[in-house]
Amino acid sequence: MPVPSILPVGDPAPADGVLPAQAGSGAGGRRFCLYVHIPFCAVRCGYCDFNTYTATELGPGAAQDEYAGTVGGELDLAARVLEQSGVPSRPLSTVFFGGGTPTLLPAVDLARILDRARRLWQLEPGAEVTTEANPDSVTPESLQLLADAGFTRISFGMQSAVPHVLKVLDRTHNPARVPEAVRWARDAGLKVSLDLIYGTPGESLQDWEASLEAAIACGPDHVSAYALIVEDGTRLAAQIRRGQVPDIDDDDHAAKYQLADERLAAAGYGWYEVSNWARTEADRCRHNLAYWHGDDWWGAGPGAHSHVGGVRWWNVKHPVAYAGRLAAGESPAAGRETLDEATRQLEHVMLQTRIIDGLATAELGPQGRREVAGLIAEGLIDGAQAVRGRVRLTLQGRLLADAVVRRLLEP
Amino acid sequence: MARTAPVPAATDPAIIRNFCIIAHIDHGKSTLADRMLQLTGVVEQRDMRAQYLDRMDIERERGITIKSQAVRMPWEVDGTAYALNMIDTPGHVDFTYEVSRSLAACEGAILLVDAAQGIEAQTLANLYLAMENELTIIPVLNKIDLPAAQPEKYAAELANLIGGDPADVLKVSGKTGVGVEALLDKIVRDLPAPVGDADAPARAMIFDSVYDTYRGVVTYVRVVDGKLSPRERIQMMSTKASHELLEIGVSSPEPTPTNGLGVGEVGYLITGVKDVRQSKVGDTVTNLARPAAESLGGYADPKPMVFSGLYPIDGTDYPVLRDALDKLKLNDAALIYEPETSAALGFGFRVGFLGLLHLEIVRERLEREFNLDLISTAPNVVYEVTLEDKKVLTVTNPSEYPDGKVSEVREPMVSATILAPNEFVGAIMELCQSRRGDMKGMDYLSEDRVELRYRLPLAEIVFDFFDLLKSKTRGYASLDWKADGEQVADLVKVDILLQGEQVDAFSAITHRDKAYSYGVMMTSKLRELIPRQQFEVPIQAAIGSRIIARENIRAIRKDVLAKCYGGDITRKRKLLEKQKEGKKRMKMVGRVEVPQEAFIAALSSDEPKDKSKK
């Protein structure tokens, strides 16, 4: 669950990080989660615009071997800020380490960070603790260490099983390594998710089919499949502009999404969010769902985003600036926004529509309700579900989810 | 400079000289006029700003004069103080009528030609007008300071045109001032003094009227007979309307009230009227108590040649547009308009213009001075349509074109003069032929410069003809045209349909031979401009019920962002809000959402920009 390299524009955040009063209101009804951003990669991939760095030595407090201590400092600050802001302390429901490549840090560092969080907030019984990993940055030993430290789940960046596609993506791992890594993770007692990317320039429908088959053959509990987005400023964007690789194509993406849904469903994986499929309800990524449900989470690390009770904020982007803020005893937040009721309602429609539970038709405004019948007729939402009072996207609707959301919103 | 300037209202016509300057855009008329203002001392050095006479911003920016003005300047020759009236004339073909009235107010004209470029077609047209008005012509080559100047060559060309000796062509530089004093002397010596009957009932010709926010309409006149005095009641001879003369005076160049204006004098009148239509260019002003029996003649109502629909991009701006047009009308007697409704564009106005430049200027003034964002539909001309039952319709808007039962359509024609270096004759002939032109003649002005004369349908030159002419002749060709009757032509209306719904804004009347290419051009343009919808959208071009071109916009298959980065919901929400905002600016044509920009782009003459169908 990486963070992007571009920060939004918002209000300034205070140096002490204290949140507006609304943050604590109704907290009992929301889960509390933690995201930890690890901003390091061995190689910068051409398509990637996430906030990540390849240098091992970024500067004071930002070096890889100091990072666990630095980000631990933010966790201490988080506990203090939440208390000062009147947000009741809740045990963590989920913890997610994303990047970057979290497993570039030694497993003991990840374990240290998790321990710090556990000491500050406790973990709920059965809490979900995930880390992202590159298939070539793990060993049976490191995975066992993670499991022993309390990690329950690992998400491998498989992306594709086809060498020429991996090459365009600048991914360095050997695809043959993936089944092996999955096996080691299982042996260590971890649940496994595989991340796939479709629609890479040069990827044929057959290539994508091969990647899907390879992923399914590994027998993961969970699969995420994301369409490649060409972000401005990436090397891939420059290559496309210069005509060195073909541009991505929405029709191709649509065909590949349909194929993914068909193959995954046939193999027993059901969709629960536009880009996510799980074997059973228990295998769904609860951390991911927290974002769509509007739960509370603290995002630690440079550029990380947080949300507590309708207050959203984001940290300064550069690891050196980030470490500097914490060293000075200041909040690393770069900006924030406090959502009003109308904006929270808009976000609720936008986020909730993407998941299988969908949105209650009762939560729609008059304009949104008028659209429902048309959306059923156009095959974009499930008619039977609508009759039962839920807006649930059909396969067609998932492909046009943003258009559906625009129609459900009040003008 | 004159030591004692003659006093207005008491000036002997024998010491008055009325003249104008005929020149092409960029040939330096305004710079020369500025230099004259300085040399005669009516504008102090410190008040001088470039192009003093061109008052409107647009005029200054484009370096062209739209509205004429008159300035009275003193000048002494051989110990006698003279009064020179310089009447500034518009230089563009759209304003031929105004030019002709300005010329009628003068006894002489300076024919000003760029010594590096030679005479241009529009200048030639105005020169003909001046000669028809029996004006004395003083040929002058300007910009002789330029390294590229060829004074000998162009002096020969001018002498050849108007008769006379190349040696008599004055050579000046408005920029450096060289030769300008000699020119002022020559104006006094060569131009005839005005002649009129001081005792006859007053007759003065209006050659311009301008709306001023503070003073109402300012009317510029040339007195032919009699005298006009302050506080008397005057009458407009064409409308019989009478007004009190609140103020009368001369411009030098700021307005200066006088005791009146006598025979041969040029000045301004203020009567307190608020609309330039009450003070029509070409009309004759007389005294109400002692009216003249006959007007000076030559008055004609301005006739719009080109029509276009103007629509506010934001529909709520409609009242602003209406008020803006009402205000512009006060200052522009040629501007006519009436409300019009388009299914696609909403409420707007069908506006008539003298020509394309007039259209552009009006549109630019509306956008700039009234802060409006406008769409203008493709310009079209006026058609006379005779139905089978002999009823005759005047069609100024393609959407009013009758369906079926048409026995005859007549379209307006122009006679065009094109001047260009002879190497481009082939390219020009090709262009004119492709525009249904009929060649009327060809003459060599000099060894390497050719004048071509064509009769063309006006509709063929209103859109992009001039641009094409310029590009085919590397910018060397110049064009002048004037209305020249009408002709029967095989014209049809081409409609554009989106998913079977006709879009009125895109309908066009074209020659039957060109209907297909219009249909193909517009349908393929729209295919590029209209975003994909949730369903397939056919775009068709049709003549009546017959489809002549077709394109398809495929249904959109994907409209979802796959992921939400690390909980950056803010970014996703802002994108959604932007999309929602974009949706508000869509016009619905049936079920099809068409972005406002698509209308603008499809109706502009530019090629559509490459738009990837993401």
pLDDT (average), residues B252-266: 90
Residue B63, pLDDT score: 41
Inter-chain residue contact B566 with A3, CB threshold 8 Å: yes
Chain A CB contacts of B553 under 8 Å are: none
- On the question of pLDDT at B273 being above 90, the answer is no
Contact A78, A308 (CB under 8 A): no
The partner residue sitting opposite B562, judged by closest CB among A10, A274, A411, is A274
Confidence band for B554, pLDDT divided at 50, 70 and 90: very high
Residues A286 and A352 in one domain: no
Q: Is residue A409 part of a domain?
A: yes
Q: What number of CA atoms fall less than 13 Å from residue B502's CA on the CB side?
A: 14
Contact B80, B391 (CB under 8 A): no
Residues B57 and B138 in one domain: yes
Closest residue, chain B, to A6 (C-alpha): B571
Query: Looking at CA atoms only, how far is residue B346 from chain A in angstroms?
Result: 20
Residues A166 and A260 in one domain: yes
- What is the distance in angstroms between the CA of the first residue and the CA of the last residue of chain B? 71
Query: Looking at CA atoms only, how far is residue B316 from chain A in angstroms?
Result: 17
Structural domains in chain B (count) = 5
Phi then psi dihedrals of residue B346, to 5 deg:
85, -145
Chain B CB contacts of A229 under 8 Å are: 561-563
- Given B355, B379, B403, the domain boundary residue is B379
Torsion from C-alpha of B415, B421, B426, B428, nearest 10 degrees = -40
Q: Is residue B256 part of a domain?
A: yes
d(CA B462, CA A128) in angstroms, rounded, equals 72
Helix, strand or coil for residue B495? Answer: strand
Q: Is residue A195 part of a domain?
A: yes
Element (DSSP H or E) covering residue B123: helix B121-132
Residue B60, pLDDT score: 46
Residue to test with chain A: of B532, B568, B583, B593, most A Cβ within 10 A: B568
Q: Which residue has the higher pLDDT, B210 or B535?
A: B535
The residues, any chain, with a CB within 8 Å of residue B455's CB and separated by 6 or more, are B413, B414, B415, B416, B437, B438, B440, B484
Q: Which residue has the tokens 């401005």?
A: A232
Q: Is residue B608 part of a domain?
A: no
Contact B220, B67 (CB under 8 A): no
Task: DSSP for B423-457, please give it.
Answer: GGHHHHHHHHHHTT-EEEEEEESSSSEEEEEEEEE
How much of chain B exceeds pLDDT 90, in percent? Answer: 46
pLDDT (average), residues B48-65: 50
Contact B459, B381 (CB under 8 A): yes
Structural domains in chain A (count) = 2
Any bridge partners for residue A198, and if so which? Answer: A227
Residues A228 and A124 in one domain: yes
Residue B418, pLDDT score: 92
Q: Is residue B420 part of a domain?
A: yes
Residues A347 and A228 in one domain: no
Contact B68, B102 (CB under 8 A): yes
Query: Looking at CA atoms only, how far is residue A333 from chain B in angstroms?
Result: 14
Residues B496 and B481 in one domain: no
The partner residue sitting opposite B573, judged by closest CB among A37, A255, A346, is A346
The residues, any chain, with a CB within 8 Å of residue B388's CB and separated by 6 or more, are B405, B406, B407
Residues B71 and B149 in one domain: yes
Residue B335, pLDDT score: 86
Chain A CB contacts of B584 under 8 Å are: 411
Residues B469 and B499 in one domain: no
Helix count and strand count (H, E) for chain B: 14, 31
Residues A281 and A365 in one domain: no
Q: Is residue B3 part of a domain?
A: no
Q: List C-alpha distances in Å: B321 to B223, B324, B348, B349, B363.
A: 38, 5, 8, 9, 11
What is the full per-residue pLDDT of chain A (411 aa) written as tens digits? 455 566 777 888 899 999 998 999 999 899 999 999 999 888 888 888 777 887 665 666 678 889 999 999 999 999 999 999 999 999 999 999 998 889 999 999 999 999 999 999 999 999 999 999 999 889 999 999 999 999 999 999 999 999 999 999 888 888 889 999 999 999 999 999 999 999 999 999 999 999 999 999 999 999 999 999 888 888 889 999 998 889 889 999 999 999 999 999 999 999 999 999 999 999 999 999 999 999 999 999 999 999 999 999 999 998 999 999 999 999 999 999 999 999 999 999 999 999 999 999 999 988 888 889 889 988 999 988 988 889 999 999 999 999 999 999 877
d(CA B209, CA B81) in angstroms, rounded, equals 29
The residues, any chain, with a CB within 8 Å of residue B562's CB and separated by 6 or more, are A225, A226, A227, A229, A274, A275
Residue B313, pLDDT score: 83
Residues B37 and B156 in one domain: yes
Q: Is residue A12 part of a domain?
A: no
The 10s digit of each residue's pLDDT in B302-319 is: 778 888 899 998 889 999
d(CA A371, CA A265) in angstroms, rounded, equals 29
The 10s digit of each residue's pLDDT in B320-334 is: 999 999 888 877 778
pLDDT (average), residues B537-560: 93
Q: List C-alpha distances in Å: B7 to A227, B4, B201, B222.
A: 85, 9, 22, 16
Q: How big is the CA angle at A106 (ends A100 and A107), to the nearest 5 degrees?
A: 100
Counting Cβ atoms within 10 Å, is residue B508 exposed (0-12), middle (13-18) or buried (19+)?
buried
- On the question of pLDDT at B613 being above 60, the answer is no
Query: Looking at CA atoms only, how far is residue B558 from chain A in angstroms?
Result: 5
Q: Which of B369, B361, B591, B400 has its CA nearest to residue B495?
A: B400
Residues A362 and A263 in one domain: no
Q: Which of B14, B240, B219, B274 has its CA nearest to residue B101?
A: B219
**Amino acid type, A9:** V
Inter-chain residue contact A247 with B574, CB threshold 8 Å: no
Residues A239 and A354 in one domain: no
Q: Which of A358, A397, A153 has its CA nearest to residue A272?
A: A358
Residue B51, pLDDT score: 52
Where does residue B518 fall: left (phi above 0), alpha (psi -120 to 50 degrees), or beta otherwise? Answer: alpha
Residues of chain A numbered 329-388 and touching chain B (CB < 8 Å): 337, 343, 346-347, 350-351, 378
Taking every pair of C-alpha atoms in chain B, what is the biggest distance, in angstroms?
Answer: 94
CATH number at residue A254: 3.20.20.70
Inter-chain residue contact B557 with A314, CB threshold 8 Å: no
Residues B510 and B467 in one domain: no
Neighbours of A119 (CB within 10 A): 12
The partner residue sitting opposite A254, judged by closest CB among B534, B557, B561, is B557
Q: Strands A222-227 and A191-198: what pairing?
A: parallel
pTM of the predicted protein model: 0.66
Inter-chain residue contact B580 with A409, CB threshold 8 Å: yes
d(CA B377, CA B381) in angstroms, rounded, equals 12
Element (DSSP H or E) covering residue A183: helix A177-187
Residue B566, pLDDT score: 62
The 10s digit of each residue's pLDDT in B376-418 is: 888 888 899 999 988 999 998 888 888 778 899 999 999 999 9
Contact A259, A212 (CB under 8 A): yes
ipTM: 0.84
Q: Which of A382, A387, A339, A389 has its CA nearest to residue A359?
A: A389
Query: Looking at CA atoms only, how far is residue B309 from chain A in angstroms?
Result: 30
- On the question of pLDDT at B50 being above 70, the answer is no
Residues A235 and A361 in one domain: no
State the residue range of the domain holding A353. Answer: 340-411
Query: Looking at CA atoms only, how far is residue B322 from chain A in angstroms?
Result: 29
Inter-chain residue contact B560 with A337, CB threshold 8 Å: no
d(CA B583, CA A113) in angstroms, rounded, equals 46
Residues of chain A numbered 97-136 and touching chain B (CB < 8 Å): 98
Query: Looking at CA atoms only, how far is residue A147 from chain B in angstroms?
Result: 23
The 10s digit of each residue's pLDDT in B71-114 is: 899 999 999 999 999 997 765 556 777 778 888 899 999 999 99
- Given A258, A293, A328, the domain boundary residue is A293
Residues A33 and A149 in one domain: yes
Q: Is residue A11 part of a domain?
A: no
Q: Strands B478-488 and B438-444: what pairing?
A: unpaired
Q: List C-alpha distances in Å: A224 to A174, A308, A395.
A: 20, 26, 16
Chain B CB contacts of A5 under 8 Å are: none
**Amino acid type, B269:** L
Q: Which of B374, B385, B372 has its CA nearest to residue B308?
A: B374
Residue A153, pLDDT score: 98
State the residue range of the domain holding B273. Answer: 203-287
- On the question of pLDDT at B201 being above 90, the answer is yes
Residues B530 and B592 in one domain: yes
- Given B379, B408, B423, the domain boundary residue is B379
Inter-chain residue contact B567 with A306, CB threshold 8 Å: yes
The 10s digit of each residue's pLDDT in B17-44 is: 999 998 887 788 888 988 998 899 887 6
DSSP strands (E only) in B343-437: 346-353, 374-376, 383-387, 392-395, 406-421
CB crowding A256-276: b at 16 or more within 10 Å, else e: bbbbbbebbeebebbbbbbbb
d(CA B47, CA B63) in angstroms, rounded, equals 20
The partner residue sitting opposite A350, judged by closest CB among B567, B572, B614, is B572
Residues B513 and B463 in one domain: no
d(CA B333, CA B570) in angstroms, rounded, equals 55
Q: Is residue A78 part of a domain?
A: yes
Contact B482, B456 (CB under 8 A): no
Inter-chain residue contact A50 with B565, CB threshold 8 Å: yes
d(CA B42, CA B581) in angstroms, rounded, equals 56
Chain B CB contacts of A6 under 8 Å are: 571
Inter-chain residue contact B559 with A411, CB threshold 8 Å: no
CATH number at residue B407: 3.30.70.240
Q: Strands A311-315 and A305-308: what pairing?
A: antiparallel
Touching check for B214 and chain A: CB below 8 Å? Answer: no
Count chain A–chain B contacts defined by CB atoms under 8 A.
112
Q: Which of B192, B212, B20 has its CA nearest to residue B99?
A: B20
Q: Which residue has the higher pLDDT, B200 or B578?
A: B200
Q: Strands B16-23 and B108-114: what pairing?
A: parallel
Going by the DSSP 8-state scheme, the letter that residue B80 receives in this structure is E
pLDDT (average), residues B106-127: 88
Q: List C-alpha distances in Å: B515 to A81, B410, B518, B526.
A: 72, 17, 5, 16
Q: List C-alpha distances in Å: B573 to A84, A306, A339, B249, B580.
A: 29, 15, 11, 66, 10
**Amino acid type, A255:** A
Residue to test with chain B: of A350, A375, A394, most B Cβ within 10 A: A350
CATH number at residue B366: 3.30.70.870
Task: DSSP for B139-170, please give it.
Answer: EEEE-TTSTT--HHHHHHHHHHHH-S-GGGSE
- Given B471, B489, B507, the domain boundary residue is B489
Chain A CB contacts of B567 under 8 Å are: 1, 3, 35, 291, 297, 299, 304-307
Contact B196, B57 (CB under 8 A): no
Element (DSSP H or E) covering residue A406: helix A401-408
The residues, any chain, with a CB within 8 Å of residue B593's CB and separated by 6 or more, are B531, B533, B583, B586, B587
Q: Is residue B252 part of a domain?
A: yes
Touching check for B610 and chain A: CB below 8 Å? Answer: no
Residue B258, pLDDT score: 93
The residues, any chain, with a CB within 8 Å of residue B76's CB and separated by 6 or more, are B1, B2, B3, B82
Taking every pair of C-alpha atoms in chain A, what is the biggest distance, in angstroms?
Answer: 60
Confidence band for B57, pLDDT divided at 50, 70 and 90: low
Residues of chain B numbered 523-542 and touching chain A (CB < 8 Å): 534
Residue B607, pLDDT score: 40
The partner residue sitting opposite A299, judged by closest CB among B566, B573, B577, is B566
Inter-chain residue contact B558 with A50, CB threshold 8 Å: no
